[in-house]
Amino acid sequence: MQQIIQISTDKQNGLYDITSQIEKIVAESNINTGIVNIYVQGATAAIMIQENWDDSVQNDVINLLKKLIPSGVWLHDAQDNNGDAHLKAGIIGPSECIPIIDGKMGLSTWQNIFLCEFDGPRSKRNIVISILSD
């Protein structure tokens, strides 16, 4: 089973919680045991599993990446001024795989799934949800 969801972003750099959309797709799949893969299309965005309790960890992720990978100093900036976005997305990665256990994602209490935007705002980010069962 495969489905594409679309997310709009309102910041240049930000984490967007997409867990509820993925939970809905997993529930509708009626798959009891399997794997769900979440993959963002685009070279300047990523998918991350991170704490969901409050925004502090998500803000810390963005602030760390801004410090480690500053904007405006990369060779690719000569083309379209987003070299840092490409590097951040490459480090985090475009996808995550989560086991489906008893019909639900095997996330712990404090884990959620986030779209990481590094080149926003964007009117549309496509996220491909693929579910595989045994």
| pLDDT for residue 31 is more than 90 | yes
pTM of the model: 0.96
Range 9-15 average pLDDT: 98
Give 62-76 pLDDT, tens digit per residue.
999 999 999 999 999
**Per-residue pLDDT, 90:** 98
- Pick from 51, 44, 1: nearest CA to 22: 1
d(CA 36, CA 34): 7
| pLDDT for residue 134 is more than 90 | no
Give 84-113 pLDDT, tens digit per residue.
999 999 999 999 999 999 999 999 999 999
Cis peptide before 94 (omega within 30 of 0): no
End-to-end Cα separation, the chain, in angstroms: 12
The CATH number covering residue 59 comes to: 2.60.120.460
Range 4-29 average pLDDT: 98
Edge-to-edge strand list for the sheet holding 34-40:
2-9, 122-133, 34-40, 95-101, 104-105
DSSP string covering 27-49: HHHT-SSEEEEEEE-STTEEEEE
Q: Is the dihedral of CA 56, 110, 113, 66 positive or negative?
A: positive
d(CA 29, CA 47): 21
Domains of the chain: total = 1
Domain around 10: 2-133
